[in-house]
């Protein structure tokens, strides 16, 4: 996919008129949403594989770790927008099949428990990636390239996946947490590129956390970029976020961020 095409695709993702790629996709396009069951350390998980079934060409797989609400209707819809005609996306389940938060309190408790246990969080992210790659026999997945993206809690999760040493071609964090108890692990990362898209006014990722992440990355030889969007706060890609000064959707910033991901994917995948 060309840089120009991907920029158009991701810039249109959240437009009121419809779903980015869907605006120009053939009428027969059919987005498949396939449950994918897997297990890790005795816990059952169920993610959702999302792709356009009208395209026969194998496409790069993308692991998507959603925000702290986990596998939800909104996350699955977002995966369909991102997949378009160019990727096969697995909405990762890192909480467990029986845990689907419906309130901020429930989501905070679920995300907080995993953030307090980074080895478990890394293990679950790795299990989700294994489940995605295992779909190559039944879905149009092109082997050899793989990306991981995440939003908010999910953004921090894919950075932990990189720190775990898992080989990845591209990692993209949208308004994710940047802190980690073991920053030295990033020096062992086997990632071909890291793109962090951050709201410069995000109160949940304060300057000290940003400075720590910059120091962490500077200690590596990775190909990495961090983009800070002026005046943007947390959750700037989430149309449902509306807590001014804290978590709030910003259409312009969201379009720019998705366009940057598209160009990054063009380069790495």
β-strand partners of 148? 63, 171
β-strand partners of 197? 174, 227
User: How much is the average pLDDT of 70-95?
Assistant: 97
- In order of 10, 110, 175, 203, 204, the CA distances from 247 in angstroms are 21, 19, 10, 9, 9
Predicted pLDDT at 9:
44
What are 102's two structure tokens? 């419906």
Answer yes or no: are the C-beta atoms of 127 and 45 closer than 8 Å: yes
Predicted pLDDT at 96:
98
User: How much is the average pLDDT of 23-43?
Assistant: 80
Answer yes or no: are the C-beta atoms of 148 and 196 closer than 8 Å: no
Average pLDDT for the chain: 91
Q: Which class for 170: exposed (0-12), middle (13-18), buried (19 or more C-beta within 10 A)?
A: buried
Answer yes or no: are the C-beta atoms of 152 and 176 closer than 8 Å: yes
> Going by C-beta distance under 8 Å and a sequence separation of 6 or more, which residues neighbour residue 264?
170, 172, 193, 195, 225
User: How much is the average pLDDT of 72-81?
Assistant: 97
pLDDT score of 189 more than 60: yes
pLDDT score of 58 more than 80: yes
C-alpha to C-alpha distance for 180 and 219, rounded to whole angstroms: 14
Higher pLDDT, 24 or 159: 159
β-strand partners of 73? none
pLDDT score of 148 more than 50: yes
Per-residue pLDDT band for 27 (boundaries 50, 70, 90) equals very low
Higher pLDDT, 28 or 7: 28
C-alpha to C-alpha distance for 264 and 192, rounded to whole angstroms: 11
What are 82's two structure tokens? 């991102």
Per-residue pLDDT band for 29 (boundaries 50, 70, 90) equals low
Per-residue pLDDT band for 8 (boundaries 50, 70, 90) equals very low
Predicted pLDDT at 17:
34
Predicted pLDDT at 28:
53
Predicted pLDDT at 3:
36
Predicted pLDDT at 30:
87
Predicted pLDDT at 122:
98
User: How much is the average pLDDT of 148-162?
Assistant: 98
What are 89's two structure tokens? 């996306």
């Amino acid at each position: 996919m060309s840089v120009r095409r991907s920029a158009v695709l991701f810039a249109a993702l959240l437009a009121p008129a419809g779903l980015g790629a869907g605006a120009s996709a053939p009428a027969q396009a059919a987005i498949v949403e396939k449950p994918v069951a897997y297990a890790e350390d005795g816990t059952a998980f169920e993610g959702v594989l999302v792709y356009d079934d009208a395209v026969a060409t194998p496409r790069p797989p993308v692991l998507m770790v959603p925000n702290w609400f986990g596998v939800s209707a909104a996350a699955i819809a977002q995966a369909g927008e991102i997949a378009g005609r160019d990727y096969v996306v697995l909405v990762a389940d890192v909480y467990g099949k029986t845990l689907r938060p419906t309130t901020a309190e429930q989501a905070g408790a679920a995300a907080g428990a995993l953030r307090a246990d980074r080895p478990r969080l890394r293990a679950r992210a790795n299990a989700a990636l294994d489940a995605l790659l295992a779909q190559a026999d039944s879905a149009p997945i092109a082997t050899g390239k793989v990306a991981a993206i995440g939003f908010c809690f999910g953004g921090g999760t894919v950075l932990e996946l990189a720190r775990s040493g898992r080989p990845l071609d591209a990692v993209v964090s949208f308004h994710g947490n940047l802190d980690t108890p073991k920053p030295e692990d990033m020096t062992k990362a086997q990632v071909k590129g890291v793109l962090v898209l951050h709201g410069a006014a995000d109160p949940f990722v304060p300057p000290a956390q940003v400075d720590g992440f910059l120091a962490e990355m500077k200690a590596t030889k990775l190909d990495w970029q961090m983009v800070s969007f002026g005046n943007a706060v947390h959750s700037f890609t989430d149309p449902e976020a509306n807590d001014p000064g804290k978590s709030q959707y910003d259409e312009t910033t969201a379009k720019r961020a998705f366009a940057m991901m598209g160009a990054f994917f063009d380069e790495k995948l």
